[in-house]
Amino acid sequence: MIWLRTIAAFAFALAFVCQPATSSAFVPASPGTRVGASEVVAGTLVGGLGDASRGQHQGIGAAYDETASGYRFAARGAEGLAARFDPSRAGHIFREAAGHVNPASAASQGRFARLFEQVASNPANLRADAVQAGLLTQQAAEAGVQAFTWTGRTGQVWVTIRNGVVQNAGVNPLGAFR
Amino acid sequence: MSLLEALAADRGGEIESAAAQYEKALAAGDVSLQVLLNLALLYWQATDVGLAAAKKLSPHFLATAGRRFPELIEEARRRFPESTEVRFWKRYIAWADLGENLDNDECRRLLQEDPAALAPAMHLFAASQGHEAKAEAHELLRRCRDDGTTGARYVASVIEGVIKRAGYRR
């Protein structure tokens, strides 16, 4: 299935290359069809996360196959997650802004929510240098906020959590990693 | 001139330059509600990982931003204790950054107390998935699109996101 993996990797790379720097770069065809490049990223990065088989994941995304931890995200069930996405925070997290994603469907939003939970549930992704790296302010760190990042070939998923709840999250494109 | 320059830089997305100009305006004695809130929200948004990364904001600037936005909100609260907008942002930022409680009833009370200050409508609209404070949120969106500052862009992005999600739930 190397050809399938190559296509997925190409789509993933293309999504980030095409991702605009500002929200104004999106031109809505109509309110219902407004789709940003992040949609492609979501589909490619997380695929059928959580309900897909191992075999399906091997074909879905190079991003998920490229590290062992990434692959574990795809294979693990919801019961193993330490971080929880609170849907009441969707307005703050999912929006048209730099480094954020604005999913075009409930399914896509669900996949991103799950991705954020998984990134923030893996201790290997915890950024001990969060303040120095500009992921958190000193004040936020002192208040107990933690930052997690997971870097794929073409994007950096970032998540901040406090008390086990995702506070903010998004995807930084190439050239804008922290 | 600093305020005009600050607004121009802010609307142009020049975060560090806008902050410097707003600070100049404050130092020159223009301690208006507009300057305090615009600068507080600009600093607050500068600490957003996505924006900070996209604008390549320096760790030094982020440290300043993280220290200054609570100071400015507090200064605004002290100088303009009647402002429902200031009270709202103080609570909203604590909710957004730290997950502190933000009661919808409190937002309703703030909106009732000053129906012209529409910021609480953003949260009511978002929390109800677009069902509550619909007219106020749409008016707020119109104003924010006209305003174009960093804080206004945040508000517009939240409201637009809610409208988009309401569309795909239908």
Out of A28-37, A67-76, B92-101, the most confident range is: B92-101
Using a CB–CB cutoff of 8 Å, tell me whether B13 touches chain A. Answer: yes
Task: Please state, in angstroms and as integers, the Cα–Cα distance from residue B19 to each residue in A70, A83, A143, B138, following that order.
Answer: 39, 34, 25, 28
B66 Cβ under 8 Å from any chain A Cβ: yes
B169 vs A150: which has the higher pLDDT: A150
Residue B154 carries which DSSP code?
H
Q: Which of B15, B49, B69 to mutate to test the interface with A (most CBs of A within 10 A)?
A: B49
**Cα(A114)–Cα(A159) distance, rounded to whole angstroms?**
12
Chain B residues inside the 8 Å CB shell of A32? 167-168
In this prediction, residues A8-15 reach a mean pLDDT of 47
Q: DSSP letters along A109-139, please? A: HHHHHHHHHHHHH-GGGB-TTTTTTTSS-HH
* Token pair 């760190």: residue: A141
Q: What is the pTM of this model?
A: 0.80
Q: Which of A89, A88, A90, A74 is closest to A122 using CA atoms? A: A74
Residue of A22, A95, A139 lying closest to B161 (CB–CB): A95
Q: Which residues in chain A are contacts of B49 at CB distance < 8 A?
A: 99, 134-135, 147, 158, 160, 168, 170, 172, 178
Residue spans of the domains in chain A: they are: 2-21+31-173
**What is the structure's pLDDT at B64?**
97
Q: Which two tokens stand for residue B92?
A: 């909203």
Mutate to test the interface with A, among B164, B169, B170 (most CBs of A within 10 A): B164
A167 and B99 in contact by Cβ < 8 A?
yes
Q: Which of A115, A125, A127 is nearest to A76 (CA)?
A: A115
* Subunit contact B97:A106, Cβ cutoff 8 A: no
* Residue B86 near residue B80 (C-beta atoms within 8 A): yes
**Shortest Cα distance from B160 to chain A (angstroms)?**
7
On whether the CB atoms of residues B167 and A32 are closer than 8 A, the answer is: yes
Round the average pLDDT of chain B to a whole number and report it. 96
Q: Per-residue DSSP letters for chain A? A: -HHHHHHHHHHHHHHHHH--SSGGG---SSTTT---HHHHHHHHHTTTTTTS-HHHHHHH-HHHHSSHHHHHHHH--GGG-SSB--GGGHHHHBSSSTT-B--SSHHHHHHHHHHHHHHHH-GGGB-TTTTTTTSS-HHHHHTT-EEEEEE-SSEEEEEEEETTEEEEEEEEETT---
Out of B66, B161, B167, whose CB is closest to A140? B66
Round to whole Å and give the CA distance between B66 and A80: 33
Say if residue A56's pLDDT is above 90.
Answer: no
Asked if A178's CB is within 8 angstroms of B168's CB, the reply is: no
Interface A-B: count of C-beta contacts within 8 A: 127
User: Where residue A141 falls among pLDDT bands split at 50, 70, 90?
Assistant: very high
Name the residue of chain A whose CA is nearest to B169's CA. Answer: A106
Q: Tens of pLDDT along B111-157? A: 999 999 999 999 999 999 999 999 999 999 999 999 999 999 999 99
Q: Taking residues B165-169, report their average pLDDT.
A: 83
Confidence band, pLDDT 50/70/90 cuts, at residue A60: very low
The closest CB to that of B164, out of A34, A89, A160, belongs to: A34
